[in-house]
Amino acid sequence: MTNNPIGGFLLLHKPPLITSHRALSPIKRCFDGRIGHTGTLDPMATGTLVCAIGQARKFIQYIPSDAKKSYRGTIQLGCQTDTGDITGNVINTLEPTTISCELIQSSLASLTGEIMQRPPIYSALKYKGKPYYAYARSGQKIPIQTRPVTIEQLELIEYCEKKQQIVIEARVSAGTYIRSLAEDIANQLNTIGCLSSLERLTIEPWTHHRQYTIDQVTQSENPEQLLLTIDSGLRHLPELTLEPEQITKLRHGIKIPNLTGKQAGQYRAYDPQKNFHGIINTNINQVCAVKMIQTHD
């Protein structure tokens, strides 16, 4: 167990068949403090789950909400389920069909760019304050509006005609449902389909950082060394260097005069030694704290 009072972000490789919340349970025992996460994965899905350790939890809301994600998914053709993935109830099947790789490539190209996507009924989106999945479980029909999403990249990795499976990789905007994308791809191929596996490969802004399995974290002699710094998730904000006494005042809720010459907006606050202290806001007259790391000064 570590007693690091600050914490950071951990890129956890979630295993299949457990919820994101349950994946955190063994991780909590490695750190002295509460743990949160962002970017929930479906139980079936594997891959990158961003865990916020210690004071990093306070900064989750400041991570860009439009962060792009990349996935690898397997589409099972000829099978449609109520959830859009293989864990759901089968509601329709079709006989195997011969599909050329050229047709698949053309279909993927037609779904690349900004598209209108119909989210799955089994999702956490809300209608009249109630999640879609609650209506689905009770058998209630609700209107589901399509919404714009961006499929930045969509690539065919493998096609197995015998198994009637297509493996794709996709880089998508926030809010994109890969289950819906799988169904749309199948529709473009004049058949039906559902997602049979899904792995989140990357999530911005940690695209090039390493992920760790649950075992790697729990068996580490020093799990604190696996953490990314809190400011690693805040690189979209410009940085501003302040003197230690200014930072102390801001941490205690005291506004200070704006002598920085910087234009109004939010900044990452650092001391002269490049230690990160939190997020501040400047206007023409003053600087105030938005969210600060708490220390024992």
pLDDT of residue 112: 98
- Average pLDDT, rounded, for the chain: 93
Looking at the predicted structure, is the pLDDT value of residue 4 above 50? Answer: no
* Higher pLDDT, residue 70 or 39: 70
Looking at the predicted structure, is the pLDDT value of residue 33 above 70? Answer: no
Looking at the predicted structure, is the pLDDT value of residue 3 above 60? Answer: no
Q: Which CATH superfamily is domain 69-201 in?
A: Pseudouridine synthase (3.30.2350.10)
Residue range 7-65+205-233 forms a domain whose CATH class is alpha beta
Q: Identify the burial level of 81 via C-beta atoms within 10 angstroms of its C-beta, where 0-12 means exposed, 13-18 middle and 19 or more buried.
A: buried
* Topology of domain 239-292, CATH: 2.30.130
* Higher pLDDT, residue 5 or 209: 209
Cα-based torsion angle of the residue sequence 54, 56, 61, 63 in order, rounded to the nearest 10 degrees: -150
Residue 232 in contact with residue 205, Cβ under 8 Å? yes
Looking at the predicted structure, is the pLDDT value of residue 193 above 50? Answer: yes
Tell me the average pLDDT across 77-88. Answer: 96
- Residues that are catalytic: 42
**What's the pLDDT tens digit per position in 235-249?**
999 999 999 999 999
Q: Measure the CA–CA gap between 292 and 297, rounded to whole angstroms.
A: 13
- pTM score, two decimals? 0.90
pLDDT of residue 2: 40
Same fold, 7-65+205-233 and 69-201: yes
Output b/e per residue, 171-201; b: 16+ Cβ within 10 A.
bbeeebbbbbbbbbbbebbebbbbbbbbbbe
Return the percentage of the chain with pLDDT > 70, whole number: 97
Tell me the average pLDDT across 161-178. Answer: 97
Token pair recorded at residue 58: 């306070």
Supply the angle between the helices 178-188 and 101-110 in degrees, to the nearest 10.
Answer: 130
pLDDT band with cut points at 50, 70 and 90 for residue 261: confident
Find how far residue 166's CA is from the centre of its chain: 24
Looking at the predicted structure, is the pLDDT value of residue 1 above 50? Answer: no
pLDDT of residue 297: 52
Domain boundaries, the chain: 7-65+205-233, 69-201, 239-292
pLDDT band with cut points at 50, 70 and 90 for residue 124: confident
**What's the pLDDT tens digit per position in 263-279?**
899 999 999 999 999 99
